[in-house]
Amino acid sequence: MRKRAELLAHIQNTNSQYNLPEIGKKEAYKANREGVAEHFPEPSVRKTIEVDLALIDHDDQLLSELELYITRTAKGHDVQTFSRLQSVPGIGKILALVILYEIQDITRFPRVQDFVSYCRLVKCAKESAGKRHGLSGKKIGNPQLKWAFSEAAVLFLRQNQPGKEYFAKLATVFELGCIAFGSHASYYRQFPVVPIGTQNSIGV
């Protein structure tokens, strides 16, 4: 995925480097890649872009096959948890897979607070004699889970007005409030409970 993102970024950066007009469409979608190479008049540059596009097409095929295999495997391992995770607003198939396999067994976290800490969504305070002396432990925990919940928070807020209002309230108190909310929801979704809607999830 990172290599694919780098190729897409290279196309956009090359377009800006040569002061060309905006391509006007997202090359991440295969249907939008037709004619992109012809957008670059310089033959050597056009060839470079053609190579980028060919590599992206190849990566898409490999990633689709890999995604299908992992999804089938996840359903075989724990289809109920996989389904419940996707009931959290903002968490789709890919993020559910990341969360499922990075956590493995949710029961190893006795409290949701332990889980949120493992996800790098809270910071440890340095205290001495009752006084705070900054924060520490930024790199303790699982970076993949922090990424997954950060992505989920962005997707959750994109077209969710109640979520935006709830985040605005949390943001005045907690820097990572919305992201931590997503991890709370995912924590409880991995126990045998019935999925609930967005309004019940955020308490509005």
Whether 49 and 130 share a structural domain: no
pLDDT of residue 11: 95
Q: Where are the alpha helices (DSSP H) in 125-189?
A: 143-158, 161-171, 177-189
CB 179 within 8 A of CB 155: no
- Do 51 and 133 share a domain, yes or no? no
Domain containing 121 equals 86-202
6 and 55 belong to one structural domain: yes
Residue 109 lies in a domain: yes
Instruction: Please give the DSSP secondary-structure letter assigned to residue 196.
Output: -
Q: Are residues 107 and 158 in the same domain?
A: yes
Average pLDDT for 108-123: 86
Tell me the pLDDT tens digit for each residue of 63-106. Answer: 899 889 988 888 888 889 899 999 888 899 989 999 999 998 88
Same domain, 32 and 64: yes
C-beta of residue 157 within 8 angstroms of C-beta of residue 164: yes
The pLDDT of residue 39 = 93
Provide the 8-state DSSP code for 22: P
For 48-61, what is the mean pLDDT? Answer: 95
Q: Which two tokens stand for residue 33?
A: 């890649």
pLDDT digits over 9-46, tens only?
Answer: 999 999 999 999 999 888 889 989 999 999 999 999 99
- The pair of structure tokens assigned to 189 is 């979704």
Residues 91 and 47 in one domain: no
The number of distinct structural domains making up the chain is 2
SS3 (DSSP) at 128: strand
Question: Dihedral angle at the C-alpha atoms of 22, 26, 30, 32, nearest 10 degrees?
Answer: -40
| pTM of the predicted protein model | 0.64
**Helical (H) or strand (E) element with 131:** strand 131-136
Domain assignment present for 39? yes
pLDDT of residue 47: 96
pLDDT at 136 over 80: no
Of 68, 96, 119, the one marking the end of a domain is 68
pLDDT at 198: 53
In a domain, 43, yes or no: yes
Domain end point (choices 18, 40, 68) = 68
Residue 8 maps to a domain: yes
